[in-house]
Amino acid sequence: MLQMRRTNEQKSATRQRILDAAARLFRLHGIDAVGVDAIMHAAGLTHGGFYGHFSSKEALVAEVATASLARSAARWAKISREESSETARQLIVGSYLAPAHAAAMEQGCMLTTLGSDMARRPEAKSGIATSVRVMLEALERCLPAQGQRQVQASLSTMVGAVVLARLADDPMLAQSFLDAARSELLGEAASPPEAVGHKL
Amino acid sequence: MLQMRRTNEQKSATRQRILDAAARLFRLHGIDAVGVDAIMHAAGLTHGGFYGHFSSKEALVAEVATASLARSAARWAKISREESSETARQLIVGSYLAPAHAAAMEQGCMLTTLGSDMARRPEAKSGIATSVRVMLEALERCLPAQGQRQVQASLSTMVGAVVLARLADDPMLAQSFLDAARSELLGEAASPPEAVGHKL
DNA sequence: TGTACATCAGTGAACGCGCGTTCACTGATGTAC
DNA sequence: TGTACATCAGTGAACGCGCGTTCACTGATGTAC
């Protein structure tokens, strides 16, 4: 019975591997373009075992969306509470608008990598909205003298800038969307020479 | 030979019907979720005829993305040239941030309905970027005292606000993203009682 | 400690289905005389 | 004007394929005695 717990822990570790693989592949190729088979293979398993962990692909999608964005939101909340507002601003806004974030679609914020997709999946929306509210609170804590309304506009700018940067065919145009948003939100002229690495 | 032209016109009208049906269905359900069969049926045809008009589904996708956004861009350009900057601002920014636009996904701006999808389809990106540039020029003409950089941030805000409004589970949260962006860009407090209908 | 049994996470063959694409055809329309 | 023929947009059956899902199974691990 005590050993059973170790087995359960192993199973939930496997489950987490599936979730991580799915989060990565969905962002990289789009949800519909990634099959259960590909996800399980990326997690080092065979496809049949999938239904021991999730009731359907759609259930996985909802959980990936919720969990993945919740992790970002928790990170923002932590930073905004523990760091000075200037440092927090740099870590949150700065890394969101860093070229590294726009480039690394496979680990980019779900609002930008799957935003338009998720709008069509009602089962994922409540989880997403909860995290969005947490992200707004975090931003409100670290953006100087901004009310709720301005903070919402700021998050919109961040999301839109990353989406537009990824749509640009020309790297200069992509960069200029990020720079424009950064200068609007942080008052900086351009991205720093060494951009802060983006974590989720 | 002269009558042939009438036939050709009919064929290109059919082609346009296919493009329109695809543009609508892709936005509504996502590209991968809509089959050639469904598109042709929506255009009043059977699936086999598709390949008389397009070489592949992927070719259709690229053309839909390009043509659909080009139409929006042309409309913005026209408005920004023919109307006073205040009227143009209302027509472009105001209707983009109107609840009707967020609600009508099937005819919403492609940057918001298929933005994250299109980032994964390199063949569509150059057409999209061209239209984005035209849209930036139109915005620069009608937003007061904004340089290129601020205009890019403004377009980012518009795109992000519509994406976030569609992701919200609560209509109040959705509305507040639109209002926040509107007040940021137009200096208005809230959406007017009768929102201007959004055209593409 | 050693042996027989139970559990259950993961395997892999199989299913029905809808996809993108092909192709032989049909039948309305336009041309030739 | 009337008839025979050519064109070609659109039809619909058929294809191979990969999808999501099911299920009988295996074999490693944990339990009972």
Cα A11 to Cα A5: distance, rounded to the nearest angstrom: 10
* Alpha-carbon span B151 to A36, nearest angstrom: 42
pLDDT, chain A, mean: 92
Question: Distance, angstroms, CA A96 to C1' D4?
Answer: 73
Distance from CA of A1 to the nearest CA of B (A): 42
The pLDDT of residue B142: 95
Nearest chain A CA: its distance from B151 CA (Å) = 8
pLDDT tens profile B38-84: 999 999 999 999 999 999 999 999 999 999 999 999 999 999 999 99
In A134-145, which positions are buried (b, 16+ CB within 10 angstroms) versus exposed (e)? Answer: bbbbbbbbbbee
What's phi and psi for A16, nearest 5 deg? Answer: -65, -35
- All residues of chain B having their beta carbon less than 8 Å from the beta carbon of residue A159 are 156, 159-160, 163-164
- Look at residue B100 and tell me whether its pLDDT is greater than 60: yes
* B82 to chain A, closest Cα gap in Å: 27
**Nearest of A108, A23, A20 to residue A65 by alpha carbon:** A23
Q: Contact B161/A153, CB-based, under 8 Å?
A: yes
pLDDT of residue A10: 83
Cβ < 7 Å from nucleic strand D: A 1-4, 6-7, 34-38, 47-48, 50-51, 56-58; B 7-8, 10-11, 14, 40, 45-49, 52-53
User: Would you call B190 helix, strand, or coil by DSSP?
Assistant: coil
User: From residue B6, how far is each of B9, B10, B48, B193 by CA, in Å?
Assistant: 5, 6, 23, 47
Alpha-carbon B162 to chain mean position: 12
CA distance A124 to A108: 18
In this structure, of A37-46, B4-13, B67-76, B87-96, the range with the lowest mean pLDDT score is B4-13
**Residue B33 pLDDT more than 80?**
yes
Which residues, including other chains, have CB under 8 Å from residue B172's CB and lie 6 or more apart?
none
Q: What pLDDT does B190 receive?
A: 52
pLDDT computed for residue A4 by the predictor: 46
Render B47-84 in DSSP notation, one character per residue.
Answer: GGGGGGT-S-HHHHHHHHHHHHHHHHHHHHHHHHHHS-
- Section B178-186 average pLDDT: 97
This prediction's pTM: 0.92
pLDDT, one tens digit per residue, over A147-175 is 999 999 999 999 999 999 999 999 999 99
User: pLDDT over 70 for what percent of chain A?
Assistant: 90
User: Which of A29, A140, A167, A182 is the best substitution to test chain B (most B C-beta atoms within 10 A)?
Assistant: A167
Q: In the complex, which nucleotide's C1' lies nearest to the CA atom of residue B15?
A: D9
Identify the band that residue B3 occupies on the pLDDT scale cut at 50, 70 and 90.
very low
Q: Distance from residue B146 (CA) to nucleotide C21 (C1'), in Å? A: 50
Asked whether strand C has any atom less than 7 Å from the CB of B48, the reply is yes
What pLDDT shows up at residue B6? 56
Q: How far apart are CA A106 and CA A109, in angstroms?
A: 9
Statement: residue B5 has pLDDT above 90: no
Distance B9 CA to C33 C1' (A): 28
Cα gap B92→A98, rounded to integer Å = 29
pLDDT given for residue A9 in this prediction: 77
Average pLDDT score over residue span A46-65: 97
A179 has pLDDT over 50: yes
pLDDT tens track for A94-133:
999 999 999 999 999 999 999 999 999 999 999 999 999 9
CA atoms within 13 A on the CB side of A58: 4
Q: What is the pLDDT of residue B99?
A: 98
pLDDT, average across residues A131-144: 96
Cβ proximity of A118 and B127 under 8 Å? no
For an interface test with B, which of A158, A159, A170 has the most B Cβ atoms less than 10 Å from its Cβ?
Answer: A159
Say which of A30, A120, A158 has its CB closest to residue B160. Answer: A158
Please report which confidence band the pLDDT of residue A189 belongs to, taking 50, 70 and 90 as the band edges: low
For residue A8, give the nucleotide whose C1' atom is nearest its CA: C9
Picking from A32, A150, A152, A185 by the largest number of B CB atoms within 10 A of its own CB, the best residue to mutate is A152
